[in-house]
Structure 1
């Protein structure tokens, strides 16, 4: 996935098909990401005078730890992106996040790697099981929470609650 600019200039104002299979050894230092299956990178490269636009479609399967059970699960990723590589841009220029400066060679691997890392889910689970609870905490539904909050009345406000209840009884009569 690396081309020299002189090689690409031969296809000025034309489109070049990109169809690559990439195997990344490590993609990130996150502990919940165990690895990737083969990554498919497809797309089209449009070579212009000073800019090269690349429409990318990335498909891969990420092996991750389930957030609840810590079991190995497979998470499919499908990413579509349009990236531009500009010969006149400098590293110090403030560029849009999809515009990359390029000097002698156009290398898609770092861009593909970054797109995968950015699109990794933070929390992933295949389990429908709700955690049972732990010491000093438990899992409850929203209805149970609402009932519990209704029952808890600040002792300083208990007199006001009785006034509200008596006012409601007077309105009903």
Structure 2
């Protein structure tokens, strides 16, 4: 997925089809990402005077650890993006997130890698069960919460009456 700008200039005002299969060894240093399967990269390269735009469609499957059970699960990713490579942009220029400076060679691999990494979910679980509680905590319904708020400790009943009196005086 690498082309020299000289090669691409031959196709000025034309489109070039991209259809590649890429195998990344390690995609990220996150501990919950165990591996990534073969990645399909498809799209078109549109060559214009000083800019090259690339419409990308990336399909892959990332193997991750389930955040609840630590079992290995497959997470399919489908990413669509339009990336722009600008010959006039410098490395230090402040550019939009999908604009990249390019000098001699257009290399899509780092861009594809970055798109995959930012689209990997932070937390993933295969389980559809909602957690209802744990050690020293539980999930409450709205009704249970309002009931608990209405139940006043008898030792605090006099304080509650003082609070009610002060609210009535303010009105």
Please confirm whether the aligned pair reaches a TM-score higher than 0.5, indicating the same fold: yes
Shift, 1:128, TM fit:
1.6
- Measured against aligned partners, the alpha-carbon deviations of 1:49-73 in whole angstroms (never above 9, x if no partner) come to 1100000000001101111111100
Which blocks of at least 5 consecutive residues in structure 2 are unaligned? none
Is the aligned partner of 1:122 residue 2:128? no
Match of 1:14 in 2: 14
Match of 1:171 in 2: none
TM-score by length of 2: 0.86
Instruction: Give, in whole Å, the separation in 2 of the partners of 1:58 and 1:152.
Output: 58
Q: Which runs of 4+ in 1 moved over 6 A?
A: none
Is the aligned partner of 1:102 residue 2:102? yes
TM-score by length of 1: 0.85
Which blocks of at least 5 consecutive residues in structure 1 are unaligned? 168-173
- Measured against aligned partners, the alpha-carbon deviations of 1:122-163 in whole angstroms (never above 9, x if no partner) come to 111110223454332234444434433443679374215777
- RMSD of aligned residue pairs (Cα, Å): 2.2
Match of 2:69 in 1: 69
Within-5 A mapping of 1:1-173: 1-131=1-131, 133-151=133-151, 155=156, 157-159=159-161
Instruction: Give, in whole Å, the separation in 2 of the partners of 1:129 and 1:119.
Output: 24
Aligned residues: 164
Instruction: Give, in whole Å, the separation in 1 of the partners of 2:17 and 2:73.
Output: 32
